[in-house]
Amino acid sequence: MKIGDYLEIPETKKVILIKLTHADLLKIWKRCGLTANYGASYLISSCPEKKDVMNSVSMILNELLENAAKYSDEEMGSIELTITLSGDSAILQVDNIIDEQRYMIFRKFADKITNCEDVNSLYIEKLQSFGENDGMKSGIGLLTVLSFFNPKMGFMFQPLKEANKYKVSVQAAMPIEGATTCR
Amino acid sequence: MQIKGEDYSIVFDDKLNTVNFNGSLRLENMGEYNAIEQFLLDVHELNLPFLNLDFKEVEFLNSSGIAMLCRFIMDVKKQNKMPVIVTGNDDILWQKKSFANLKLLWDKVEVKFGRAQ
């Protein structure tokens, strides 16, 4: 099931594909940031004059990877990071596997944020709720990405043959002005 | 007063009433940010004419860290003891977006921008 602006990416178009496991990310948390920085640097190396967007690309990748590390299924923890250049956009995608409970929550959340007319208000409401609630997991990563960078977001949920497991792909398409001229 | 992590440092300069943040803060969750939040609250306990939080030398702060900063601002808003200034880096988009939101949480926050040295 697709939600939002999800694009099918042909294998040949992928700039980079990195396979990770959620256990390794949870063991050494800074691996999320290291991988995000690497992905962003690798992408932007083809268009060095766009260096100013590297920080934003790394911010988005890091939030997608942190979510995958936190919410992946305990038994099936494989994570894939894919970066593609398509037209004037960099498509940043993270795939991971989630259980039924997480699937129900996440599908609802994906519906909500892709159909929301005012993401900033939703984000501010969530920030204000932290004043009253000291939850350990902020659950605010995707809202932060949408509010700050306004990428086109797309989600794909696919049931796996294993009972109650779903593969989820989260895509953020980030416009990079003049990207078509990148090498 | 200071806190140092593997990839960041947070140092209070008592001559300039400024907390200088440096590096990359991507801790795992809001619980891990508690020590930093407590450090900021301890500085805020000092009887200062104002408090400046300087992020010009910060490259990354993840969404949990941004949420912690917002929680701190809402906390000091309740106390309303001193003006709070947040100084960001004009070259970093997330700082511009994020610090504009702090003003929505508390209109008395002053947001300024400069460049890293």
ipTM: 0.94
The answer to whether B7 faces chain A, any CB pair under 8 Å, is: yes
Rg, Å, chain A Cα set: 16
The answer to whether B59 faces chain A, any CB pair under 8 Å, is: yes
Spatial separation of the C-alpha atoms in residues B66 and B64, rounded to whole Å? 5
Provide the shortest C-alpha distance from residue B70 to chain A (in Å).
7
pLDDT digits (tens, 9 = 90+) for A14-64: 889 999 999 999 999 999 999 999 999 999 888 777 777 999 999 999 999
What is the arrangement of strands in the sheet containing B84-89, beginning at the earlier edge strand?
A: B2-4, B8-13, B18-25, B51-61, B84-89, B110-114
The answer to whether B69 faces chain A, any CB pair under 8 Å, is: no
Contact residues, chain B, for A148 at CB < 8 Å: 93-94, 97-98
pLDDT digits (tens, 9 = 90+) for A111-168: 999 999 999 999 999 888 876 555 545 568 999 999 999 999 999 999 999 889 999 9
Q: Mutating which of B69, B77, B94, B103 best tests the A interface, going by the most A Cβ atoms within 10 A?
A: B94
The answer to whether B28 faces chain A, any CB pair under 8 Å, is: yes
Spatial separation of the C-alpha atoms in residues B97 and A35, rounded to whole Å? 24
CATH of region A2-178: 3.30.565.10
CATH of region B2-114: 3.30.750.24
Spatial separation of the C-alpha atoms in residues B49 and B53, rounded to whole Å? 14
Domain ranges of chain A: 2-178
Q: Where are the strands (E) in chain B, listed by range? A: 2-4, 8-13, 18-25, 51-61, 84-89, 110-114
The answer to whether B29 faces chain A, any CB pair under 8 Å, is: yes
